[in-house]
A and B are shown apart, each in its own frame.
Chain A
Amino acid sequence: MEITGAQALLESLKKEGVDLIFGYPGGTVLPIYDALYAEKGIKHILVRHEQGAAHAADGYARATGKVGVCLATSGPGATNLVTGIANAYMDSIPMVAITGQVGTALLGKDSFQEADITGITQPISKHGYLVKKVEDLPRIIKEAFYIARSGRPGPVVVDIPKDIQLTKFNFSYPDNVDIASYRPTLKGHPNQISLAIKAITAAKKPVIYAGGGVIASGAAKELKELAEHCHIPVTTTLLGKGAFPETSRLSLGMLGMHGTAYANYAITDCDLLIAIGARFDDRVTGHIDHFAPNAKIIHIDVDPAEIGKNVRIDIPIVGDVKNVIKALLEKLSVKDEHKEWLDQIEEWKSKYPLSYKLDSGLIKPQQVIEQLYELTKDRETIIATEVGQHQMWAAMFYKYTKPRTFVSSGGLGTMGFGLPAAIGAQFGRPDAIVCNIAGDGSIQMNIQELTTAVNNKLPIKIIVLDNCFLGMVRQWQEIIHGGRYSSTNLCANPDLCKIAEAYGVAAMRCSSPAEIRSTLEAALAITDRPVLIDFIVAKEENVFPFVQPGQPINQMLID
């Protein structure tokens, strides 16, 4: 069958199970958009900025586990994807970013809207292809999806010159993919598994430290079995939220810079640390020499480059997290119920709970999150956040019990991620309540995507914790820079409700603690369009606990 490169791209995408892409048209993707015009099998969602397309594809991938796809034109279209690609790379999110490129005859000549996007994205993508021959296109798409979703997932860039999109050729899609130089290790080495079993059996004070890898691997069920079977408490990273039910007595919540005191104490005191699909990020470890100083460390990860990157590992196990936990469970029989250890943890929990001080006149941001949790805990709910204080409160005061329900930019820390990511998540999970918890700074970074949400009648709840500050930076200025609030006061904000209404978004404002619940209830009742709630909250509330950068994680400011 002779078809054009553009048609072949769509056929290839369908073979990979893609039925939804986020994109923005332009000169060098005209042939692809022309093919999309008549395409029934793939829905194209028009965003209003290419960055929104990348984050929406990312949010879709996080909420569903499928590969997210975004599409942009060459030059500025492609460079606008860069933040979104870097974001997906840092958090190991499977994504294929397709870009148009100037025709092959114009390549390398500084042509109009030419940018070397495969070059630009080299350090921030798992792999990249510049398609030089149309005959290579089907194989490249096959490989791109395989690379994006296998091993440690990540974004792959496919750059397609315009003439390639227009060239006709005899299309056939490969059944198999074989990349001799890319063979991820999926099964843990039996010797290492035996060593881990010995260490787990001998431990008196074990802790599991679970990261986003548990969710990527689909191993939440296995993790729960491991923890319950062996009576081991579990702390998660920000990206690990949802990997283990936070309602369980074994849950320690999050660790690290804004971790719970009891998680950080448990890490500091434990004799065995089992790191699963986590990468010992500096926001997690604090001062590296004081991180789990008394523990033997088991590290399970599919990426061998993570082993020993930041800390010394006693028992490394390279493999898919789910496979490895299953292999451990087959042979583990732990008699020890770790009563003393769990009692100690209970004591820390009751002594140092997550807390904040209520105020009768002012809304405390933590209150909003707690009440949102109460109202939505029995329904399928996905929380997507921006980056900053609100993100930490959303992580701390909402209890996540299922994987793929917390969508947040962890590694890159991208403000402006949450709204487009919520859009992607709602497309992926039309049945779920999708909330975008935002700050008044972040929400303005991709606010144009309100149109995308309205046009598609997405009932996203945009919950702005509006403190008229870039709150997290202000907090650091308060604590570390002597209260010199340099460029963090946002008192010149526009009226967010008026902006929302102009876009066709339902808007509400709430500034009284007594009305939080009724306002949230009213917002949850709106199901035919997005709703934005501007919660006017205490201006200078801080996120506690707070481990200052470079400090040991057991040395926190608690309030």
Chain B
Amino acid sequence: MKHTISVIVENKPGILSRVAGLFARRGFNIESLAVGVTEDPAISRMTISAEGDEQDLEQILKQLYKLIDTIKVFDLPHEKAIEVELALIKVSASDKTRAEITQIVDVFKAKIVDASESSIIIQIADESSKVASMEEMLRKYGVKELVRTGKIALLKGSAE
């Protein structure tokens, strides 16, 4: 089963490799990982998507918590969290296709952030599944490059 794990850590050197190393050692594959500072610049928050069974998950949460620089670790249940990821997609575009692509961009409430003779760059910030279906729809026009940030997530106010 897929899990979204939040790890709140002291913003200290080496912590990213400690966290990533733990996943590798315990046989967990990290699907995506996003790191950034929080409201307190001395503290960082990592959001990790990974797959594994419940018992493995419990063990990895405990092992993560055991790291000296870890302040808090928790699993975010999908139904109780807002999960978003950002993607930039560079798509081939000609005079013929530009209008169609723009329509798709509108449907997904995405944004065109760069345009040239032959391509446009689209920015989308949404649930992972939406990002994936937008990519799917753009594929026939020719996706030249795509970059995703990995998911970030927050517990909903009502679930706290």
Task: Point out the residues of chain A lying under 8 angstroms from B63, CB to CB.
Answer: 305
Please tell me if A112 contacts chain B, counting CB pairs below 8 Å. Answer: no
- A122 touching B17 in the complex, CB below 8 Å, given contacts A181-B10, A305-B63, A309-B59: yes
Please tell me if A103 contacts chain B, counting CB pairs below 8 Å. Answer: no
Which residues of chain B from 76 to 110 have a CB within 8 Å of any chain A CB?
none
Please tell me if B9 contacts chain A, counting CB pairs below 8 Å. Answer: yes
Closest B residue to A307 by beta carbon equals: B62
Interface 9-mer from B29-37, B67-75, B149-157:
B67-75
Q: How far is the CB of B137 from chain A (nearest CB, A)?
A: 43
Structural contact, B18 and A305, CB atoms closer than 8 A: no
Closest A residue to B71 by beta carbon equals: A181
Please tell me if B21 contacts chain A, counting CB pairs below 8 Å. Answer: yes
How many angstroms between the C-alpha atoms of A119 and B21 in the bound complex?
10
Which residues of chain B from 1 to 50 have a CB within 8 Å of any chain A CB?
9-10, 13-14, 17-18, 21, 25
One digit per residue, 1 when the CB lies within 8 angstroms of any chain B CB and 0 when it does not, for chain A 154-192 equals 000000000000000000000000011110000000000
How many angstroms between the C-alpha atoms of A442 and B104 in the bound complex?
71
One digit per residue, 1 when the CB lies within 8 angstroms of any chain B CB and 0 when it does not, for chain A 301-321 equals 001110111000000000000
Which residues of chain A from 132 to 153 have a CB within 8 Å of any chain B CB?
132, 147
Task: Point out the residues of chain A lying under 8 angstroms from B68, CB to CB.
Answer: 126-127, 147, 179, 181-182
How many angstroms between the C-alpha atoms of A311 and B32 in the bound complex?
30
Task: Point out the residues of chain A lying under 8 angstroms from B9, CB to CB.
Answer: 181
Please tell me if B65 contacts chain A, counting CB pairs below 8 Å. Answer: yes
Q: How far is the CB of A105 from chain B (nearest CB, A)?
A: 17
- A304 touching B21 in the complex, CB below 8 Å, given contacts A128-B14, A309-B59: no
Residues of A in contact with B, size category: 20 to 34
Please tell me if A118 contacts chain B, counting CB pairs below 8 Å. Answer: yes
Structural contact, B21 and A130, CB atoms closer than 8 A: no
How many angstroms between the C-alpha atoms of A127 and B124 in the bound complex?
40
Q: How far is the CB of B35 from chain A (nearest CB, A)?
A: 16
Please tell me if A482 contacts chain B, counting CB pairs below 8 Å. Answer: no
Task: Point out the residues of chain A lying under 8 angstroms from B66, CB to CB.
Answer: 303-305
Structural contact, B13 and A130, CB atoms closer than 8 A: yes
- A304 touching B65 in the complex, CB below 8 Å, given contacts A119-B17, A122-B14, A128-B14: yes
- A305 touching B59 in the complex, CB below 8 Å, given contacts A126-B68, A181-B10, A181-B69: yes
Task: Point out the residues of chain B lying under 8 angstroms from A179, CB to CB.
Answer: 68
Contact of B62 among A119, A122, A130, A305 (CB under 8 A): A305
- A123 touching B10 in the complex, CB below 8 Å, given contacts A181-B71, A182-B68, A303-B66: no
Q: How far is the CB of B128 from chain A (nearest CB, A)?
A: 30
Task: Count A/B pairs, Cβ under 8 Å.
Answer: 41
Closest B residue to A305 by beta carbon equals: B62
Contact of B21 among A123, A303, A308 (CB under 8 A): A123
Closest A residue to B61 by beta carbon equals: A305
How many angstroms between the C-alpha atoms of A318 and B55 in the bound complex?
18
Task: Point out the residues of chain B lying under 8 angstroms from A309, CB to CB.
Answer: 59, 62
Task: Point out the residues of chain A lying under 8 angstroms from B21, CB to CB.
Answer: 122-123
How many angstroms between the C-alpha atoms of A47 and B71 in the bound complex?
39
One digit per residue, 1 when the CB lies within 8 angstroms of any chain B CB and 0 when it does not, for chain A 101-125 equals 0000000000000000011001100
Q: How far is the CB of A97 from chain B (nearest CB, A)?
A: 16
Q: How far is the CB of A33 from chain B (nearest CB, A)?
A: 27
Task: Point out the residues of chain A lying under 8 angstroms from B10, CB to CB.
Answer: 180-181
- A304 touching B62 in the complex, CB below 8 Å, given contacts A181-B68, A182-B68: yes
Task: Point out the residues of chain B lying under 8 angstroms from A122, CB to CB.
Answer: 14, 17-18, 21
How many angstroms between the C-alpha atoms of A119 and B14 in the bound complex?
8
Closest B residue to A152 by beta carbon equals: B66
Q: How far is the CB of B72 from chain A (nearest CB, A)?
A: 9
Closest A residue to B60 by beta carbon equals: A305
Task: Point out the residues of chain B lying under 8 angstroms from A303, CB to CB.
Answer: 66
How many angstroms between the C-alpha atoms of A309 and B17 in the bound complex?
23
Closest B residue to A312 by beta carbon equals: B55
Closest A residue to B62 by beta carbon equals: A305
Closest B residue to A180 by beta carbon equals: B71
Task: Point out the residues of chain A lying under 8 angstroms from B58, CB to CB.
Answer: 308
Closest A residue to B42 by beta carbon equals: A180
Task: Point out the residues of chain B lying under 8 angstroms from A128, CB to CB.
Answer: 14
Task: Point out the residues of chain B lying under 8 angstroms from A304, CB to CB.
Answer: 62, 65-66
Closest B residue to A304 by beta carbon equals: B62
Q: How far is the CB of A372 from chain B (nearest CB, A)?
A: 40
Closest A residue to B58 by beta carbon equals: A308
Chain B CB within 10 A, most for which of A119, A122, A128, A308: A122
Closest B residue to A310 by beta carbon equals: B59
How many angstroms between the C-alpha atoms of A208 and B38 in the bound complex?
46
How many angstroms between the C-alpha atoms of A307 and B66 in the bound complex?
13
Closest 5 CB pairs of A and B: A305-B62, A127-B68, A181-B71, A182-B68, A305-B66
Known: A180-B71, A308-B58; 8 extra A-B contacts, CB below 8 A, are: A119-B14, A130-B14, A179-B68, A181-B9, A181-B70, A304-B62, A304-B66, A305-B62
Listed by A's residue number, 5 A-B pairs whose Cβ atoms lie within 8 Å are A180-B71, A181-B68, A303-B66, A308-B55, A309-B62
